A and B are shown apart, each in its own frame.
Chain A
Amino acid sequence: MSSTDARPALTLDALRLTFHPGTPDERVALDGLNLRMNEGDFAVVIGSNGAGKSTMLNAISGALQPDSGRVLFGAQDVTDLPVHRRAGFIGRVFQDPMLGTAPALSIEENLALAQRRGLRRGFRLALGRGNRQRFADLLAPFGLGLETRMGVLAGKLSGGQRQVLALLMAAMQKPRLLLLDEHTAALDPGTAELVMQATRRIVDEGGLTTLMITHNMQHALDTGNRLLALNAGQVRLDLDAQAKAGLTIEALVQRFGASDDQLLRA
């Protein structure tokens, strides 16, 4: 993966972020973190609790402002843009299935809301005829049966169904970066597997540049073309597809924080 010709899709440049500075609770979450994501990279991020994984994603999305350092999409510096102004670049799915969809809106309204991500919202009806059919076609391949229940409130869906819907919403209006923040962690193993399949499918079909945090070592090995391990607010390990292919869970755990029981939960 040469990053010399094209500009990276995402550049994190010496990101620094300290929580509660100057208090006894002071904690350095990002300690000069650097990262380059090339177009089409699907990087899986692992690391123990407190390593800075979620903080990194929040700094990318704009939910948190770094104390110093820069966030760039291509050549554009977005470090100072609020969440809604960089939303056009980013699709995001959260760990909590409640967060990724709007429970009081129907499935099709959720999709219509996501369809305008990063675009102007005007006085056109959100659910024109064409949209309804398009949304149903979008959902149909996932075999959840939701395409016939488009008017159902998202709040009535199961956790797995919601995460698939949230994934679709995040991938609509093709984002330059897809952020997945342990999006299968709150699901039972079977459902988590289904959502992972949906994830691979959506990322592959869209050719999406993706950062996925997971605590599931099997998913970390099976998925993506790159493996990042974070520790103490820095990227400590950055393996490409080749290096990753030779890894086993045991080797990974041994090489990276075998003492952390979170990592053993494969």
Chain B
Amino acid sequence: MDILHLFWNLVPVTLVQGLTYALIALAIMIPFRILSVPDLSSEGVFPLGAAVAAALLSAGAHPLIATACAVAAGFLAGATTAMIHLKFKVHSLLAGILTVTMLWSINLRILGRPNAPIFGIETLYDWISPEILRSLPLQITVAATLAVALVLALWWVLQTDMGLGLRGIGANPQLAPALGVNLVLYTAGGLGLASGISALAGALMAQSQGYADVGMGVGMLVNGLASVIIGEAITGRRTLLRQIAAPVVGAVVYYQLASLALALGLNPSDLKLVTGLFVLLTIGWPVLIGRKVSGAGL
């Protein structure tokens, strides 16, 4: 079968894509599940990371510095969303939308134009080994290592006293301050952490594809949500590790499913509609079959 053959050939490429976008899914899970402060900043922070990395690389910065600055910029954007939410008492979703909107202009400023190539400039991948971008197995290894390392790091952090404070805020925002947790600081730190991961994804994506584009964040959010939902259906949420691993597992599966759908003839421009309907269906499923909603959805 031609169609399945096409899909099969794309599996490794899609795997790299899924493992990279897994970081965005991870960044979406943290506010939703750990902090219970749903945040949509990713859509603007992902291209922010790409823009910062590309601009700095073009200016001659070391790839490591460029990537680190991208992460720092992402952290600031996430913390900004948190401050808008907490200080101006704006709903966190609206605060995120404001951040995304403002980031669009900022990203354009940083890049200087909508699309900036960084061909011929040493990227993080070239710096580690020039072989990486020429070999698919190496790319898969690098992306998988990074995703697993991030999951494990997050797993560890969330079990420390500080991490427990973060989870405490998500679990009971009234109790946590009474136990001495600074709600503003921890929320800003938590959203900052999540956005830092989104920006890292953007910086890496720009360096692997060789350009940054202000529009590269469009749709990332819904894809990320779909990834989180799929992942949680597979791993469950019984333990902290399962909860943290879910977005990564989900992203890998989601992008393969999307690739299969495209191979089967789905028009690429219809993919967002299908993904959106899928997210809706999953969230609305308990309502549709008449079961009491227990807050298991998003």
Chain A residues at the B interface, C-beta cutoff of 8 Å: 61, 82-85, 87-88, 90, 92, 99-105, 109, 112-114, 116-119, 121-127, 169
Contacts and interface: CB of A to CB of B under 8 A. Distances in A.
Nearest to B239: A151
Contacts of A61: 178
Given A85-B180, A102-B176, A126-B163, 10 more contacts: A61-B178, A84-B176, A87-B179, A87-B180, A102-B171, A102-B175, A103-B172, A104-B167, A116-B161, A123-B160
Nearest to A104: B171
B177 interface: yes
12 contacts: A87-B177, A87-B179, A88-B180, A102-B175, A102-B176, A113-B168, A113-B176, A121-B165, A121-B181, A123-B161, A124-B161, A126-B164
B171 A126 contact: no
B64 to A, nearest CB: 23
Contact of B162 (A87, A114, A122): A122
A20 B10 CA distance: 64
Most chain A C-beta atoms within 10 Å of own C-beta, residue among B160, B161, B162, B179: B179
A105 B183 CA distance: 17
B159 interface: yes
Contacts of A84: 176-178, 180-183
Nearest to B180: A87
A169 B176 CA distance: 12
Given A112-B161, A123-B160, A124-B160, A99 B177 contact: no
A112 B171 contact: no
Contacts of A99: 172, 174-175
Contacts of A103: 171-172
A118 B180 contact: yes
B96 interface: no
A165 B172 CA distance: 15
Given A103-B172, A104-B167, A104-B171, A121 B178 contact: no
Contacts of B170: 104
B157 interface: yes
A105 B166 CA distance: 11
Contacts of A85: 180
Nearest to A88: B180
B256 to A, nearest CB: 31
A125 to B, nearest CB: 6
A92 B178 CA distance: 7
B157 to A, nearest CB: 7
A100 B164 contact: no
Nearest to B179: A117
Contacts of B160: 121-126
Nearest to B158: A126
Nearest to B162: A121
A129 B176 CA distance: 24
A121 B172 CA distance: 17
Contacts of B171: 102-105
A112 B164 contact: yes
Contacts of B161: 112, 116, 121-124, 126
Contacts of B175: 99-102
Given A84-B183, A87-B179, A105-B167, A125 B172 contact: no
B180 A116 contact: yes
B185 to A, nearest CB: 9
Contact of A127 (B159, B180, B182): B159
B72 to A, nearest CB: 19
A65 to B, nearest CB: 14
Contact of A90 (B159, B162, B174, B178): B178
Given A99-B174, A103-B172, A105-B171, A114 B159 contact: no
Interface string B172-207: 101111111111000000000000000000000000
Interface string B71-82: 000000000000
Contacts of A122: 160-162
A117 B168 contact: no
A122 B159 CA distance: 11
Interface in B232-265: none
B125 to A, nearest CB: 30
Q: Please list the 10 inter-chain residue pairs (A to B) with the smallest Cβ-Cβ separation, ordered nearest first.
A: A102-B171, A87-B180, A121-B161, A104-B171, A102-B172, A83-B177, A84-B177, A126-B164, A121-B162, A117-B179
B168 A102 contact: yes
A85 B177 CA distance: 8
Contacts of B178: 61, 83-84, 87, 90, 92
Contacts of B162: 121-123
B164 to A, nearest CB: 4
B237 to A, nearest CB: 10
B82 to A, nearest CB: 16
